[in-house]
């Protein structure tokens, strides 16, 4: 077995302070990751490593440091990364405990850099906000007010402020003048908690819109804690934008980007950057996913701007890398870039992109290593085997997807916890693996074969193919082979969270500025 090098907290801290490229990867599942991790750690679970790593750490020469909390996952991940072609892989000395014992600060929750930054913005810029009770009073009085929800459309549909309109964060500056053409109209920006409403509101302030603007203090959590009712299933969306509106918004967005120190770049410059072997360059298209699908630059990834700013660690998992943004309106890329620059990234906006350059169509497809081949079974054959018995069906989809619907009798498992999962399952003569498409299942083929010594098959086309064949489904936590640790239960999502959890989440957010100060590596600067 190849000996894997180690890197210790002091050297990683120094690299962060020097703004060198750092890929610090936590290979645990999301739930334990959210309990405690370094500020700039990126969560790429061992279970999904092959599906995510090439997009999130695109250069094979990046210095990668992986860790866990003593579960034995990091060593497997390091060997897997080396097999995938990464040339500089190391283990974090002592794992998570080593970071803690060396004096490193640990943070809770997910997307912490952006959330901590949002709190810093509010503390330094005194971003205007209104309490839930005050916003409710405005709505009750039929005041001249518009409520803009800065989250993803699916989040907005789950729960939202009555009468609110879905305008995801990067769209706000582009579209607000159409939604509130009267300068006297009060604009309220909300999210579920605090970050996206703060950033959205401050975006409008920075861009100089004439309307009075305020964040809904504490978002839908604050609304719920005030005893007020949320709406469900609303569908009010973006307004069309006139050329005059776009031009005005573009000028103001460019001014904000310039103030933040955003770099201007050309397609030629992008080509030169992408050829550099000693730097990582991400190319992100910050328009809506539908616009991206209609036509985009080759090699670009679809990352709608509001979510990119909120989840930067998920998309750009190499801290210190270069980020290049593209749009077709001069607004969304500049506003998103202004925030990324304040978050400490080297960020550029492409200025010479024209419609004829947007030659690729369709949804973004992640770059993948070679997908393992294996024996496939049709839905009809699987149904017959399950009827006969002596067949165990393993489902590697997300636990949320599994609970929503799955093949009757399927056992939900995490790939990284296969030994534990198999111990809890009945013995079988054969195993069939599935997930949504069977892509992740194919990467688990060899591991299940090695652990069971039995014939192993994948369901052709995955559970989606079973559904397309109109075969029966069931829902719920019917057969969980391991606990549902693949997703952290966010106190600001859904409609059934305990009030105590909501308040605790807000209290945690309020303490982030102080925690940033203790950590000392963030490199944030607020304009």
Domains and CATH numbers, the chain: 5-112 (3.40.250.10), 124-237 (3.40.250.10), 253-357 (3.40.250.10), 376-468 (3.40.250.10)
Q: What is the mean pLDDT of residues 100-121?
A: 96
Query: CB under 8 Å to 479, separation ≥6 — which residues?
Result: 409, 410, 411, 412
Tell me what pLDDT residue 494 has.
62
Residue 208's SS3 state is coil
CA distances from 212 to 145, 246, 248, 430 (A): 10, 20, 18, 65
Least confident of 97-111, 229-243, 351-365: 229-243
Tell me what pLDDT residue 227 has.
93
Q: Where are the alpha helices (DSSP H) in 372-424?
A: 379-388, 399-404, 418-423
Closest CA to 103 of 15, 220, 10: 10
Number of H helices, E strands in the chain: 24, 20
Q: In this structure, how many other beta carbons lie within 10 angstroms of the beta carbon of residue 511?
A: 12
Residue 510 has pLDDT above 90, yes or no: no
* pLDDT tens figures, 261-301: 999 999 999 999 999 988 999 999 999 999 999 999 999 99
Tell me what pLDDT residue 495 has.
61
Residue 488 has pLDDT above 70, yes or no: yes
Percent of the chain with pLDDT over 90: 93
Q: In this structure, how many other beta carbons lie within 10 angstroms of the beta carbon of residue 55?
A: 16
520: left (phi over 0), alpha (psi -120 to 50) or beta: left
Tell me what pLDDT residue 505 has.
81
Confidence of residue 57 (pLDDT cuts 50, 70, 90): very high
pTM: 0.95
Measured distance CA(65)–CA(81) in Å, rounded: 11
* pLDDT tens figures, 464-473: 999 999 999 9
* pLDDT tens figures, 176-211: 999 999 999 999 999 999 999 999 999 999 999 999
Tell me what pLDDT residue 2 has.
66
Query: CB under 8 Å to 429, separation ≥6 — which residues?
Result: 390, 391, 454, 455
Closest CA to 195 of 100, 296, 121, 141: 121
Residue 151 has pLDDT above 80, yes or no: yes
Q: What is the mean pLDDT of residues 136-148?
A: 97
The CA-based dihedral angle spanning residues 103, 108, 112, 117, taken in that order and rounded to the nearest 10 degrees: -70
Measured distance CA(421)–CA(440) in Å, rounded: 16
Mean pLDDT across the chain, nearest whole number?
95
Angle between helices 112-125 and 512-519 (to 10 degrees): 110
Residue 499 has pLDDT above 90, yes or no: no
Q: What is the mean pLDDT of residues 88-114?
A: 96
Measured distance CA(231)–CA(373) in Å, rounded: 47
Measured distance CA(209)–CA(126) in Å, rounded: 17
For residue 362 the two structure tokens come to: 């369709």
Percent of the chain with pLDDT over 70: 99
Tell me what pLDDT residue 297 has.
98
Residue 443 has pLDDT above 90, yes or no: yes
Q: What is the mean pLDDT of residues 3-12?
A: 95
Q: What is the mean pLDDT of residues 384-400?
A: 96
Tell me what pLDDT residue 221 has.
92
Tell me what pLDDT residue 500 has.
84
Tell me what pLDDT residue 518 has.
95
Dihedral sign for Cα 324, 326, 329, 333, please. negative
Q: What is the mean pLDDT of residues 388-398?
A: 96
Tell me what pLDDT residue 498 has.
79
Residue 215's SS3 state is strand
Q: E-assigned strands of 256-367?
A: 263-265, 281-285, 301-302, 322-326, 346-350
Higher-pLDDT residue of 306 and 238 is 306
Closest CA to 150 of 222, 254, 241, 220: 220
Measured distance CA(228)–CA(232) in Å, rounded: 13
């Amino acid at each position: 077995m190849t000996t894997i090098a180690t890197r210790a907290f002091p050297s990683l801290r120094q690299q962060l302070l020097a703004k060198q490229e750092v890929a610090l990867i936590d290979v645990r599942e999301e739930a334990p990751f959210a309990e405690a991790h370094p500020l700039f750690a990126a969560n790429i679970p061992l279970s999904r490593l092959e599906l995510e790593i090439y997009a999130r750490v695109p250069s094979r020469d990046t210095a990668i440091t992986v860790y866990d909390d003593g579960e034995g996952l990091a060593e497997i991940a390091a060997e897997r990364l080396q097999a995938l072609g990464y040339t500089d892989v190391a283990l974090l000395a002592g794992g998570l405990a080593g970071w803690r014992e060396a004096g490193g600060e640990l943070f809770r929750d997910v997307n912490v850099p952006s959330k901590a930054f949002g709190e810093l913005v509010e503390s330094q810029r005194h971003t205007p906000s209104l309490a839930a009770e005050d916003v409710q009073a405005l709505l009750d009085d039929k005041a001249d007010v518009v409520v803009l929800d800065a989250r993803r459309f699916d989040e907005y549909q789950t729960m939202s402020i009555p009468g609110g309109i879905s305008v995801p964060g990067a769209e706000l500056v582009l579209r607000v003048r159409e939604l509130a053409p009267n300068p006297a109209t009060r604009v309220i920006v909300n999210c579920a908690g605090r970050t996206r409403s703060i950033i959205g509101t401050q975006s409008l302030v920075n861009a100089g819109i004439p309307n009075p603007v305020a964040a809904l203090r504490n978002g839908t959590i604050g609304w719920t804690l005030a005893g007020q009712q949320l709406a469900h299933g609303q569908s009010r969306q973006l307004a069309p934008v006139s050329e005059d509106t776009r031009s005005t918004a573009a000028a103001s967005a460019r001014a904000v980007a310039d103030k933040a120190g955003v770099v201007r770049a050309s397609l030629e410059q992008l080509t030169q950057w992408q050829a550099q072997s000693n730097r990582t360059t991400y190319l992100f298209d910050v328009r809506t996913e539908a616009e991206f699908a209609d036509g985009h630059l080759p090699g670009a990834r679809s990352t709608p701007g509001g979510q990119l700013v909120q989840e930067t660690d998920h998309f750009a998992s190499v801290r210190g890398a270069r980020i290049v943004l593209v749009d077709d309106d001069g607004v969304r890329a500049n506003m998103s870039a202004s925030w990324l620059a304040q978050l400490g990234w080297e960020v550029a906006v492409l200025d010479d992109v024209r419609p004829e350059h947007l030659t690729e169509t369709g949804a973004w497809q992640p770059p993948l290593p070679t997908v393992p081949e294996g024996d496939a079974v049709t839905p009809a054959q699987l149904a017959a085997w399950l009827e006969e018995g002596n067949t165990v069906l393993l489902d590697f989809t997300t636990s949320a997807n599994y609970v929503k619907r799955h093949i009757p009798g399927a056992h939900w498992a995490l790939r990284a916890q296969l030994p534990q999962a198999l111990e809890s399952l009945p013995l079988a003569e054969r195993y069939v693996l599935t997930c949504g498409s069977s892509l992740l299942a194919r990467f688990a083929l060899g591991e299940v074969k090695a652990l069971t010594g039995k014939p192993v098959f994948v369901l052709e086309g995955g559970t989606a193919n079973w559904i397309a064949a109109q075969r029966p489904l069931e829902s719920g936590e019917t057969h969980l082979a391991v606990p549902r640790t693949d997703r952290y239960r966010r106190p600001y999502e859904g409609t059934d969270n305990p009030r105590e959890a909501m308040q605790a989440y807000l209290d945690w957010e309020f303490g982030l500025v102080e925690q940033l100060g203790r950590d000392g590596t963030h490199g944030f600067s607020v304009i």
